[in-house]
């Protein structure tokens, strides 16, 4: 899962602003507005892995 988090932090995700994404094996395997659906689709695509689910923040969002 650490590699997926690193991928999330380093990748240009501007195409997904405001959406939920699921990352599996350092690839975005699902995206959308409903986190449950995004996670379920990711589990179907990567049944033997635990995908990282994250919401891509808006540009104005500041994380401390």
Model confidence at 62, pLDDT cuts 50, 70, 90, reads low
Model confidence at 1, pLDDT cuts 50, 70, 90, reads low
Res 20 pLDDT > 60: yes
- The 10s digit of each residue's pLDDT in 33-61 is 999 999 999 999 999 999 999 999 987 66
| The predicted structure's pLDDT at residue 60 | 67
CB 38 within 8 A of CB 32: yes
For the residues 12-23, what does the mean pLDDT come to? Answer: 96
Prediction pTM value: 0.86
Taking the CA atoms of the chain, what radius of gyration do you get in angstroms? Answer: 11
């Amino acid at each position: 899962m650490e590699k997926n988090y690193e991928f999330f932090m380093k990748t240009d995700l501007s195409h997904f602003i405001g959406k939920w994404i699921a990352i599996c094996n350092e690839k975005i395997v699902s995206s959308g507005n409903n986190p449950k659906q995004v996670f379920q689709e990711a589990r179907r695509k990567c049944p033997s892995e635990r995908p990282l689910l994250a919401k891509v923040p808006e540009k104005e969002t500041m994380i401390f």
